Amino acid sequence: MVREIRAALTAVMLAGLLTVLPGAAGATGWHTGRNVTVNQPADDTVIALGRTIQLDSTVAGSAILVGSSATVSGTVADSLIVLSGSTTLSGQVGGDVVLVAGSIDMQKSSVVSGDATLLGGEVTMSGMVAGDVAVKGGELNLAGTVMGDVDATSGKLTLLPGAHIMGDVTFSGNRALELPAGARIEGKVEYKGDGMAHHRHRDADADESGDNTDTRSHRHNGWHIWMPWFGGIGMISFAVGMLLVGAVLYILFPGAVTNVATGIASDPGPAAVKGLVVLILVPLLCLICLITIIGIPVALVLGFAYVLMLMVAMPLAGFAVADMVTQRRGPPVSPGDRIRRYALVVLILAVLQLIPLIGGLVKFALVLMGVGGLVSHLRRRGPVPAY
């Protein structure tokens, strides 16, 4: 499971983060609206936000789609990430795929050259995946070809006629894995879960001939089923918290948020350095103040301000990352556009939660920039622009 998450999400999320950095902002293709259709070739990364999204063209970079429904019938040279209510993939993807949706349909014509991480309620995979497949939380109906391993330990796995898995299979559930006629598994089959005391891997062809060999008979703890959910729960809670705090901040203090974000976006390096200094010095100052009785109230005030600053630092930095894109796209955007672009940054950061090292480093960097930008804003105390 760790290999699937590292391989798929690292490539996709780093590609997504590149789209919001200053160097890549000018080359990124943004598409927003109620019904979005991308039917023109793109030389770089494509980001689309809308109610319905249709990608029919060739994308030379990665593609990030966020909407109620998404259909990908074109070709994506690099990685593809989709967050939607329903997703249909019938095209080709040259890199890794991360699909988060209520229902996912990877049709027979679909080809994924990398790994596929699928977080959905019901997943149907009839195409080909050259790497590994990991399904989280839903049901995977597999009728296609997987050249790597299949991990369905937090969902239900059903093999259909024509399914071909060249690697190993790890699954959970309360019933044996059926292997219908015409389906093949070349690697090992491992059961994880407490649904059955003993697992019997059943081959339909073997049943007919009377050969019913027990290939796996292990007992596992139930935490194997629930552990993969913890990453998803953390991702959702992080996204909801970031969106709520960011929205409240922007509604109450639009001018201050704009000022801080603009300062960070214009010079993120010095802001991060200032933030690091503040993160180190303030706790030390609080400890010094606690030594004397007179300094205790000061320490309490500093501590409260410190905690409050940490709470708002990452949302402020999120607005700054969104500004790194808008500053290179002409005049300032409207408040509604700014919130939407901030929401996209939050979604990217939320999925990064699933990558322990990279996700933590990115969040720490954002906290540093947010703290440094806020301190710089408080020191200036000048008039702030307001929409």
Does residue 98 sit within a domain? yes
- When divided into structural domains, the chain yields a total of 2
Residues 148 and 294 in one domain: no
| Residue 97 to residue 76: CA distance in whole angstroms | 10
Residue-level pLDDT at 326? 58
CA atoms within 13 A on the CB side of 111: 8
State the residue for tokens 């993807």. Answer: 93
| Residue 91 to residue 116: CA distance in whole angstroms | 14
* Backbone phi and psi for residue 14, each to the nearest 5 degrees, phi listed first: -65, -40
Residues 115 and 101 in one domain: yes
Does residue 243 sit within a domain? yes
Does residue 385 sit within a domain? no
Domain boundary residue, one of 159, 192, 221: 221
Residues 111 and 196 in one domain: yes
Residue-level pLDDT at 205? 47
Write out the DSSP string of 32-88.
Answer: EEEEEEE-S-BSS-EEEEEEEEEE-SEESS-EEEEEEEEEE-SEESS-EEEEEEEEE
Residues 237 and 175 in one domain: no
Is residue 47 within 8 A of residue 67, CB to CB? The reply is no
Residue-level pLDDT at 353? 66
Angle at 322 between CA 381 and CA 69, to 5 degrees: 145
Domain that holds residue 38: 2-221
Six-digit token pair at 103?
């229902």
Residues 347 and 254 in one domain: yes
Does residue 362 sit within a domain? yes
Six-digit token pair at 184?
């093949």
Residues 238 and 116 in one domain: no
Residues 215 and 312 in one domain: no
Q: Give me the residues paired with residue 191 across strands.
A: 171
Domain boundary residue, one of 221, 244, 275: 221
Q: Measured on CA atoms in the order 231, 19, 279, 264, is the torsion positive or negative?
A: negative
Model confidence pTM above 0.75: no
Q: Identify which of 17, 86, 91, 99 has the alpha carbon closest to the alpha carbon of residue 59.
A: 91
Residues 22 and 159 in one domain: yes
Report the b/e string of 24-44 with b at 16+ CB within 10 A: bbeebbbbeeeebbbeeebeb
* Backbone phi and psi for residue 88, each to the nearest 5 degrees, phi listed first: -125, 125
* Backbone phi and psi for residue 315, each to the nearest 5 degrees, phi listed first: -60, -40
Residues 279 and 130 in one domain: no
Does residue 347 sit within a domain? yes
Residue-level pLDDT at 214? 39
Does residue 387 sit within a domain? no
Residues 109 and 237 in one domain: no
Helix (H) or strand (E) holding 320: helix 296-326
Residue-level pLDDT at 197? 40
| Residue 140 to residue 120: CA distance in whole angstroms | 9
Helix (H) or strand (E) holding 145: strand 145-146
Print pLDDT tens along the chain (387 aa).
334 343 334 334 434 443 333 333 333 577 877 788 999 998 888 888 777 899 999 999 888 887 778 999 999 999 898 877 789 999 999 999 988 777 899 999 999 999 998 877 788 999 999 999 988 767 889 999 999 999 887 667 889 999 999 999 988 766 677 888 889 999 998 887 654 444 444 444 444 444 444 333 333 333 333 333 334 445 666 777 788 888 888 888 888 888 888 888 888 888 888 888 888 888 888 878 777 767 777 878 888 888 888 888 889 988 888 877 655 545 556 677 777 778 888 877 777 766 656 777 888 888 899 898 888 888 775 444 443
State the residue for tokens 């080809």. Answer: 111
Q: Give me the residues paired with residue 179 across strands.
A: 203
Residue 273 CB: number of other CB atoms within 10 A?
13
Residue 334 CB: number of other CB atoms within 10 A?
10
Does residue 386 sit within a domain? no
- Residues 351, 356, 357, 363: what is their CA dihedral angle, to the nearest 10 degrees? 50
Domain boundary residue, one of 221, 237, 259: 221
Residues 120 and 252 in one domain: no
Residues 152 and 298 in one domain: no
Does residue 240 sit within a domain? yes
Residue-level pLDDT at 345? 81
